[in-house]
A = this chain, B = another copy of it.
Amino acid sequence: MNFTFSEEQVMLRDSARDFLAARYPIEKVAEIADGDGFDPADWPAVAELGWTGISVPEDAGGAGMGFLEEMVVIEELGRALYPGPFFSTVVLALPALQRSPELLERVLTGEAPATLAWAGPGGEFTSDRVSVGAGFGDEDDSGHLFGMTLFVPDLAQASLVVVPAMVDGGMALWAVEADAEKSDRAPLPTVDTTRRLGSFSLEGAEARLLAGPDEAGMLLESIRDRALAALAAEAVGVASRALELSVEHASTREQFGKPIGAFQMVSAELADAYVEVEQARSLAYWAAWAVAHGSPDAPVAAAGAKAYAAEAAVRTCERAIQVHGGIGFTWEHPLHRYYKRALWIAAYLGWPADQRERVAASLLD
Point out residues on A near B: beta carbons under 8 Å: 263-265, 268
Contact = CB atoms under 8 A, between A and B. Distances in A.
Nearest to A265: B264
A265 B269 CA distance: 10
A264 B261 CA distance: 12
Contacts of A268: 264-265, 268
Identical subunits present: 2
A304 B268 CA distance: 31
Nearest to A271: B265
A264 B266 CA distance: 9
A173 to B, nearest CB: 39
7 contacts: A263-B264, A264-B264, A264-B265, A264-B268, A265-B265, A265-B268, A268-B268
A115 B264 CA distance: 49
A227 to B, nearest CB: 33
A258 to B, nearest CB: 12
Contacts of A263: 264
Contacts of A264: 263-265, 268
A319 to B, nearest CB: 14
Nearest to A263: B264
A100 to B, nearest CB: 49
A265 B270 CA distance: 12
A102 B264 CA distance: 62
A85 B263 CA distance: 47
Nearest to A266: B264
A264 B263 CA distance: 7
A268 B268 CA distance: 11
A264 B265 CA distance: 6
A268 B265 CA distance: 7
A312 to B, nearest CB: 21
The 7 closest A-B pairs by CB, nearest first: A264-B264, A264-B265, A265-B268, A263-B264, A264-B268, A268-B268, A265-B265
A257 to B, nearest CB: 15
A268 B263 CA distance: 11
A265 B267 CA distance: 9
A351 B263 CA distance: 37
